[in-house]
Amino acid sequence: MYAVRLWSVRRAGWLESLYNGFEGILIRLDPLWRRIGYGRLEAPVAAVERGVKGLLFDCRMCGQCVLSSTGMSCPMNCPKSLRNGPCGGVRADGNCEVKPAMKCVWVQAWTGARAMRGGAAIVRVQKPVDHRLEGRSSWLKAARDKAGAPAP
């Protein structure tokens, strides 16, 4: 939801701490996830993730979440799906070139990043989207990658 999405950017610092704690738990529980099987967890966890992040960020389930590097403003809501910063078409009022009623996702991102301890990550160059991961859980991917579990 658009209003919630803007709220989330205003609470970027707080959401950052919340997520970092949550991710820590996910990583520590890696042995449990392995026992259940990451594959079997994929569908239910993705469904929960879609619900929670959909509400907070208008998440599009790209499957390779970069919210921690984009000021808690989801770049997939950019009509050009830019993952690395604003285009040159941002309107004088800071709204989107393509959707004039929407605040530019990247103007929002830079604002959110200033409120985050790890906000400097916004200058990291993001790789192009891997479209194979669309619809999959970024939470499980983070747990698996950071705990060193084998890729699916």
User: Which residues face 95 on adjacent strands?
Assistant: 103
Is 82 near another protein (CB under 8 A)?
A: yes
Q: What is the helix (H) or strand (E) element at residue 48, kind and residue range?
A: helix 38-57
Is 88 near another protein (CB under 8 A)?
A: yes
Is 89 near another protein (CB under 8 A)?
A: yes
Using CB under 8 A, pick the residue from 128, 132, 148, 150 that binds another protein: 128
Is 91 near another protein (CB under 8 A)?
A: yes
Could you tell me where the beta strands, DSSP code E, fall in the chain?
none
Q: Single out the segment in contact with another protein by CB under 8 A; choices: 43-51, 52-60, 124-132, 138-146.
A: 124-132
Structure tokens at 38: 């990451």
**Cα 112 vs. chain centroid, distance in angstroms?**
13
Is 92 near another protein (CB under 8 A)?
A: yes
Residue 139 and residue 45 in contact, taking contact as beta carbons nearer than 8 Å: yes
Q: Single out the segment in contact with another protein by CB under 8 A; choices: 26-34, 40-48, 105-113, 142-150.
A: 105-113
- Residues in contact with 14: Cβ distance below 8 Å, sequence separation at least 6, in sequence order: none
Distances from the Cα of 23 to the Cαs of 6, 27, 88, 108, in angstroms?
A: 23, 6, 34, 24
Is 149 near another protein (CB under 8 A)?
A: no
Is 37 near another protein (CB under 8 A)?
A: no
Cβ neighbours around 151 below 10 Å, total:
7
Name which of 65 and 143 has its Cβ closer to another protein.
65
Name which of 19 and 110 has its Cβ closer to another protein.
110
User: Which residues face 75 on adjacent strands?
Assistant: none
Binding site for another protein (CB under 8 A): 79-94, 97-98, 104, 106-107, 110-111, 123, 125-129
